[in-house]
Structure 1
Amino acid sequence: MLTFITPGWGAIKPLHLETHKSWTRSLTKAGYLVEPWRCDLASGAFIVGLRTLALLGARQNPCGIVDLVRAYDRSDRPTILNILEQASATPSSFCFSTIIRGSRGRSSRLYCIGNSTLSEHREQGCLRGIFAVPRQREKICA
C-alpha cells in the first residue's frame, strides 16, 4: 500500500508538472493499474478508461461527476468535491484517495492524480490525470 495518499486524504497545490509526475511515478513504480482520464470544464463531461469506468459502475463514456462520485466512500466525497472545485477555479496539481464500492459489493482503493489548465477567461479548460487501482486485492478495513 502506498503511504503518500491515505483514503479520505487529498492535496491541491499550484500547478507544477513535476509534482504531478512525481506522484504518478510513485503509483507506476508500485505496480498499480493506471488509466488516464480527462474532464472538459465547459461541458463537465469526464472521459475515463474502460477499466475504471467498469470499476466505478458507470454505464457510459463520457460520464458526469455524479457517475464517478457515487462509487466513492460517502465520508470522502466532500473532500474530493472540494479539491475538484478548487482545481476548476485555478491551475492546480491535485491528488486524492478513496475507497470505492463496486456494483458487486467489492471494495477497492482508488487513487486520483491530476492537474487543471484554464484559459485566460476561465470559461474553457480541462482537468486531466490518472486513476490508479491496485493490481492485486488489498485488505480493506472499512
Structure 2
Amino acid sequence: MLNFMTPGSGAVKPLSLEAHEAWTRRVSQAGCLVEPWRCDLSSGAFVVGSRTLAVLGLRRNPCGIIDLVRAYDEGDRSTILNILERATESSSSFCFSTTIRSGTGHPSPLYCIGNSTLRERGAEGSLEGVFALPETGKLSA
C-alpha cells in the first residue's frame, strides 16, 4: 500500500500540475499499472482504460459516476463522492484511494489521481487523470 494514500482517504488541492505529476510518479514507482481516464462534466460520462473497465467489472465505455462508485468499497463511497464534488467546484488537483474486489473476489487497492479544469459557465469543463492498479499478475480481472 502506498504510504500517501490509505483506503478511504484522499486530498483536494488547488489545481497543481506538480502535485498531479508527483502523485502519478509515486504510483508508477510503486509498481502500479497506470491508465488514463476522462470525464466531460457537461454529460457526466467517464471514459476509462480497458484494464480499469475490466477490473471494475464494467461492461461499457463511457460509463457514469454511479457505475464507477458501485465498484468501490462501500465505506469509501461518500468520501470519494465528496472529493469529486469538491473538484467540480473549482479547478483542482485531487487523489483518492479505495479497495475494490477483483474477479476472484480478492480485495485490491485502486488509486485515482486527477485534475479538474472548469470553465466560467457552470457545469462546463472536465475531470481527467489516471487510475492506478497493481500490475498484471498481482490482481486478476
* 1:43 corresponds to: 43
* 2:100 corresponds to: 100
Contact 1:116/1:126 (8 A) holds in 2? yes
> Which runs of structure 2 are paired with 1:66-81 in the superposition (5 Å)?
66-81=66-81
* 2:124 corresponds to: 124
Q: Deviation at 1:103? A: 4.3
Q: Deviation at 1:105? A: 1.7
The Cα RMSD (Å) is 1.3
Percent identity, please: 65
* 2:110 corresponds to: 110
Counterpart secondary structure, 1:83: helix
Counterpart secondary structure, 1:89: coil
Counterpart secondary structure, 2:37: strand
Matched, 1:137 2:138: yes
Q: Deviation at 1:28? A: 1.1
Q: Deviation at 1:31? A: 1.8
Aligned partner of 2:32: which letter?
Answer: Y
Contact 1:89/1:122 (8 A) holds in 2? no
User: Gaps (5+ residues) in structure 2?
Assistant: none
* 2:13 corresponds to: 13
* 1:53 corresponds to: 53
Residues 68-95 of structure 1 show CA distances to partners (whole Å, capped at 9, x for unaligned) of 1101000000000000011011100000
Normalising by structure 1, report the TM-score: 0.93
Residues 21-53 of structure 1 show CA distances to partners (whole Å, capped at 9, x for unaligned) of 110011112221000000000000000000000
Contact 1:71/1:102 (8 A) holds in 2? no
Normalising by structure 2, report the TM-score: 0.93
Contact 1:33/1:134 (8 A) holds in 2? yes
Moved more, 128-137 or 13-22: 128-137
Number of residue equivalences: 138
* 1:33 corresponds to: 33
Q: Distance in 2 between matches of 1:56 and 1:8?
A: 17
Contact 1:11/1:83 (8 A) holds in 2? yes
User: Gaps (5+ residues) in structure 1?
Assistant: none
Contact 1:8/1:76 (8 A) holds in 2? yes
Q: Distance in 2 between matches of 1:7 and 1:69?
A: 14
